[in-house]
């Protein structure tokens, strides 16, 4: 009877020891898999990381005055709309401030915008009343509580590391290139070419291509140049915001004015390949 108890105790000890060793080996294997599965493409957060982050509740936060993103280096030669990116939401929204170029209006011009990158629509914006007084810092401080509550409403997290990217980008082993096409015609009163249509597409050798912007311009727009200086990468959901700058003849003649159009684009969905080849 005594020997039976000894065998039972020995068997129990061996069973528990093997179970502990198995458990340690299992956790270690997972850690190794996690270490080896890191996505080498770091421009945009992977979908797995996004799904994990999306389970975390948004926490309301404070905001700082955003820095200007210079998208046109020739600012001294033009009247330019200034762009101040603020941040992103996890569900495809982008917030920014624009200071439109002042063409002899005498007013301080300002607008804060929350932009839906999925539908390419402004879902909230605010402008101050026209005034000859004002600047970015004054407007921000005087209306900060409004800005804070609105940005928190749309769950915007401020980003302090915006970078205008110009080269090809890669995401999930796909390489992308932005393609701009324009159509022009002679403007008889000025005898110069003006742009009548602007089309922007994204092409990928792996996925195909898709059109993200197609706009006919009005005759009075007098757009004489269009250019894509770069794009911004969202850290959340595999999306980019493409910046298209457009040059038009100044209302009072030179200098010409440069303004921008923002276009949101998904880097995985909506692509198509040419058939029949």
pLDDT tens digit sequence for 137-164: 999 999 999 999 999 999 999 999 999 9
User: Under 8 Å CB-to-CB from 219, ≥6 apart: which residues?
Assistant: 187, 194
Residue 193 lies in a domain: yes
Q: Which domain holds residue 193?
A: 64-266
Beta bridge partners of 157: 88
Domain assignment present for 49: no
pTM above 0.95, yes or no: no
Q: Is residue 30 part of a domain?
A: no
Whether 69 is covered by a domain: the verdict is: yes
Task: Tokens for 83, please give them.
Answer: 């762009």
Residue 3 lies in a domain: no
pLDDT digits (tens, 9 = 90+) for 183-195: 999 988 878 899 9
In a domain, 141, yes or no: yes
SS3 149: helix
For 22-31, what is the mean pLDDT?
27
> Structurally, how many domains does the chain consist of?
1
Listed range (103-107, 158-162, 194-198, 211-215) with the worst mean pLDDT: 103-107
Specify the pLDDT at position 51.
Answer: 45
Distance, CA of 188 to CA of 185 (rounded, Å): 9
Q: Is residue 135 part of a domain?
A: yes
More confident: 12 or 115: 115
Question: In this structure, which long-range contacts are made by residues 114-117, counting pairs with CB atoms below 8 Å and at least 24 apart in sequence?
Answer: 114/150, 114/151, 114/154, 114/156, 115/241, 115/262, 115/264, 116/92, 116/264, 117/92, 117/93, 117/234, 117/239, 117/241, 117/264, 117/265
Whether residue 108 lies inside any domain: the answer is yes
């Amino acid at each position: 009877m005594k020997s039976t108890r000894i065998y039972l105790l020995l068997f129990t000890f061996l069973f528990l020891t093997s179970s502990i060793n198995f458990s340690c080996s299992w956790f270690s294997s997972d850690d190794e898999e996690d270490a080896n599965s890191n996505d080498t493409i770091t421009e945009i957060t992977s979908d797995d990381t996004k799904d994990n982050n999306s389970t975390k509740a948004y926490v309301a936060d404070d905001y700082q005055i955003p820095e200007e993103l210079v998208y046109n280096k020739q600012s001294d030669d033009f009247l330019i709309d200034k762009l101040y990116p603020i941040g992103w939401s996890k569900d495809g929204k982008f917030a920014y401030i624009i200071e439109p170029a002042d063409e002899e209006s005498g007013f301080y011009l300002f607008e804060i915008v929350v932009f839906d990158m999925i539908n390419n629509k402004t879902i909230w914006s605010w402008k101050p009343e026209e005034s000859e007084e004002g600047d970015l810092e004054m407007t921000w401080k005087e209306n900060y509580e409004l800005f804070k509550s609105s940005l928190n409403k749309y769950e915007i997290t401020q980003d302090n590391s915006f970078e205008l990217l110009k080269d090809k980008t890669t995401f999930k082993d796909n390489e992308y290139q932005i393609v701009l096409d324009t159509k022009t015609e002679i403007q008889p009163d000025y005898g110069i070419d003006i742009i009548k249509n602007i089309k922007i597409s994204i092409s990928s050798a792996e996925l195909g291509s898709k059109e993200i912007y197609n706009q006919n311009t009005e005759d009075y727009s007098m757009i004489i140049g269009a250019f894509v200086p770069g794009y911004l990468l969202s850290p959340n959901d595999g999306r980019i915001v493409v910046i298209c700058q457009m040059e038009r003849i100044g209302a009072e003649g030179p200098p010409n004015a440069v303004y921008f159009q923002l276009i949101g684009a998904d880097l995985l969905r909506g692509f198509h390949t040419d058939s029949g080849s």
